Amino acid sequence: MNLDEFVSCSSDFGVYRPGEPVEELAARLNMPVDRILKLNANENLFLPRSILQNVLAEAAAETDPRLYPGGEEAVLAGKLAKLHGASSDQIVLAAGGDQIIDLVMSNLVKQGDTVLAVTPTFSMYPRTAKIKGLTFREVPLDSRFALDGERVLEESQGAGLIVLCNPNNPTSNQLPREEVMKIVDGLEGFVLVDEAYAEYGEYSLIREALKRENLIVLRTFSKAYGLAGLRLGYGVTNSVLARTLAERYMMPFSVPGFVLRVGAKLLDERDTVMEAIEEVKRERGFLVDSLDEMEGVKAFPSDANFVLFATDKPYGEVYDGLLERGVILRKIGAVPGYSDCLRVTVAPREITLRFLEALGEVMT
């Protein structure tokens, strides 16, 4: 293959654009960086930074960067296993949840098989499937974002993998457990349940994943644990699948020893993490109610740390208006039943009030 062929092969992969960098926007608007509200990536803005800084300092002091990671993996896997009522050999550590998606789509799906997902959903699923040369098929959620397990199974011919995002990004609802389990029980292929936001929802399927042959659950430290910048995630499944993926397919040393140590230490601070999660849930209620009270805005209920809302103005216009006021959201566009939607991260009250004020200006 030459360079032209290589580049043209990638033309329909799409580019993952995380949004305008805060520093660039601040410079463009001539604003201090700390006035920019970054509410587009569902990071946890509630965990006190001081706690994270202590954990980072301790982990840094214990890390010898001259050495490859050693026993840190076993320590973190052991703590995660305890947390989830699993055993260490049922945990696959990775550099973020994205690496679990990559690992599963690279190795659990045969060439020629289809990856199926209910949509709208996380953009990395179609993108990764296309990069791996797999066919990607969508089954749309209905206008109430409800999942119909039987319908998904009816559409599942040729599907080697079904990916379900639960709670779903961007619709923010948690899919009913029975419907998800109908799919797991009825499919011959594998099911990846992406629980990146499960800490903010009502339930997890990790216990089921330990008992099933075809279910793998993805978790991440990016959303509830405040470590989006360090890239730490994991998969949980039966030990045969977990060990095969981790030992035979995963690149060695994918997660730096320092990051593994930070993850383990943060699990020792779980009370603080849980408090932050509870606070997110309280502030989420305030955000949904405030959005709903605004003229021309409809907010959807959320089981995650973000809220999806529809506007009666074109979403691009709302997005640009907010950007000019230093507020970065995620553009979503059309979802079933609504043409103009945006997504906003749940943030501490003071930030939310500034966002609401800016949105109020844009909507009038």
Ligand X SMILES: Cc1ncc(COP(=O)(O)O)c(C=O)c1O
The CA distance from 311 to 322, in Å, is: 13
Of residues 201 through 260, those in contact with ligand X by CB under 6 A are: 220, 222, 228, 233
25: tokens are 């926007």
Kindly state the smallest distance separating residue 101's Cβ from ligand X, in Å: 7
- Interacting residue with ligand X among 43, 194, 199, 283 (CB under 6 A): 194
> For residue 199, what are the contacts with CB-CB under 8 A and spacing of at least 6?
223, 224, 277
Query: If binding is defined by CB under 6 A, does position 19 make contact with ligand X?
Result: no
Of residues 23 through 52, those in contact with ligand X by CB under 6 A are: 42
Query: If binding is defined by CB under 6 A, does position 126 make contact with ligand X?
Result: no
- Judged by beta carbon, residue 98 or residue 283, the one nearer ligand X is 98
Query: If binding is defined by CB under 6 A, does position 196 make contact with ligand X?
Result: yes
The CA distance from 318 to 62, in Å, is: 47
Query: If binding is defined by CB under 6 A, does position 120 make contact with ligand X?
Result: no
- Interacting residue with ligand X among 59, 69, 122, 163 (CB under 6 A): 122
Kindly state the smallest distance separating residue 96's Cβ from ligand X, in Å: 3
Residues in the chain: 364
Of residues 287 through 316, those in contact with ligand X by CB under 6 A are: none
Query: From the CA atom positions of the chain, what is the Rg in Å?
Result: 21
Q: Which stretch binds ligand X (CB under 6 A): 59-67, 75-83, 94-102, 206-214?
A: 94-102
Q: What are the phi and psi torsion angles at 349 (to 5°)? A: -50, -45
The CA distance from 313 to 290, in Å, is: 18
- Interacting residue with ligand X among 115, 165, 192, 358 (CB under 6 A): 165
Strands 306-311 vs 297-299: parallel, antiparallel or unpaired: antiparallel
Query: If binding is defined by CB under 6 A, does position 97 make contact with ligand X?
Result: yes
Query: If binding is defined by CB under 6 A, does position 96 make contact with ligand X?
Result: yes
Kindly state the smallest distance separating residue 222's Cβ from ligand X, in Å: 3
Kindly state the smallest distance separating residue 168's Cβ from ligand X, in Å: 8
128: tokens are 């990764």
Binding residues for ligand X, rule: CB under 6 A, are: 42, 96-98, 122, 165, 169, 194, 196, 220, 222, 228, 233
